[in-house]
């Protein structure tokens, strides 16, 4: 399907969470059995959905499933690490399906690399991003702009990151985001507007595309891979033979 040391990048648009989860698991299975011979980055958006991870604590989700449904928000409990978070329109969600045996067999190292990809991408927009010691994710001006939660089996990863670009941040009011009391969530759009400091400014209509391209470039550079686009049809053909992976 491709030559050595490439990062296949599939840009999928808006995908329901259940469908994306099934695709991730199939791609991870294909990466494990070798039918997918390169690392893969799925980039997409979800309709409004709340996901809980293995570290989610009781009380961090402030509404029950029925109340969430009345607001048009789905709910999924999944195998990723981390606490409760939100995905929705205007957010760049990335699911790297990577074989860490080709990089470094260390999940803590991998998390730091994913953080750095987003930090490097945000630098493109002059947003000073960084880490918050002891807390996974990416922060700017003491506000959280990206959440990260991953899972791995035999050093093959799935799940990934959510970077708020033009996200409606009011959705985070249904939870204690990432289980961090008093955390303030932000977005690329909000940071750019605040940086304008009252000037007549509107983010570019292409902001979502610009952020996605910056993340692709940063991921290729950070993992020393050549980013190569792959169509959804070609990707699905490659992973079709893989048995869907159980949680």
CATH of the domain at 200: 3.30.930.10
Structural domain includes residue 189: yes
Q: What span, in angstroms and rounded, lies between the C-alpha atoms of 33 and 242?
A: 8
pLDDT at 203 over 80: no
Write down the pLDDT at residue 245. Answer: 54
Write down the pLDDT at residue 1. Answer: 47
Least confident of 96-105, 156-165, 175-184: 175-184
Average pLDDT over residues 156-164: 97
Structural domain includes residue 88: yes
Structural domain includes residue 247: no
Structural domain includes residue 144: yes
Beta-sheet pairing, 74-77 with 49-52:
parallel
178 is catalytic: yes
Q: Is 126 left (phi over 0), alpha (psi -120 to 50) or beta?
A: left
Structural domain includes residue 179: yes
Domain around 209: 6-239
Percent of the chain with pLDDT over 70: 94
Structural domain includes residue 245: no
Say how many domains are in the chain. 1
Structural domain includes residue 183: yes
Q: What span, in angstroms and rounded, lies between the C-alpha atoms of 67 and 72?
A: 9
Q: Name the catalytic one among 178, 207, 215, 225.
A: 178
Least confident of 113-127, 156-170, 196-210, 211-225: 196-210
Q: Which two tokens stand for residue 62?
A: 């402030």
């Amino acid at each position: 399907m491709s030559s050595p040391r490439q990062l296949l990048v599939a840009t999928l648009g808006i995908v329901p969470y259940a469908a994306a989860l099934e695709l991730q698991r199939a791609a991870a299975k294909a990466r494990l059995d070798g039918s997918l011979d390169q690392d893969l980055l799925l980039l997409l958006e979800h309709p409004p959905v709340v996901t809980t991870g293995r570290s989610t604590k009781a009380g961090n989700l402030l509404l029950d499933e029925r109340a969430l449904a009345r607001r048009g928000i789905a709910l999924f409990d999944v195998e990723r690490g981390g606490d409760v978070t939100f995905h929705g329109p205007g957010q760049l969600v990335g699911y790297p399906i990577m074989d860490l045996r080709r990089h470094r067999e260390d999940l803590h190292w991998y998390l730091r690399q994913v953080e750095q990809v987003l930090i490097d991408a945000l630098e493109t927009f002059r947003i000073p991003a960084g880490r918050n010691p002891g807390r996974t994710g990416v922060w700017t001006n003491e506000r959280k702009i990206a959440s990260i939660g991953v899972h791995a089996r035999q050093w093959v990863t799935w799940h990934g990151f959510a970077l708020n670009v033009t996200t409606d941040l009011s959705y985070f009011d249904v939870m204690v985001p990432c289980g961090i009391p008093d955390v303030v969530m932000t977005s690329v759009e909000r940071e750019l507007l605040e940086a304008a400091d009252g000037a007549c400014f509107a983010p570019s209509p292409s902001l979502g595309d610009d952020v996605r391209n910056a993340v692709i470039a940063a991921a290729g550079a950070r993992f020393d891979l050549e980013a190569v686009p792959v169509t959804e049809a070609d990707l699905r053909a490659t992973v079709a033979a893989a048995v869907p992976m159980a949680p």
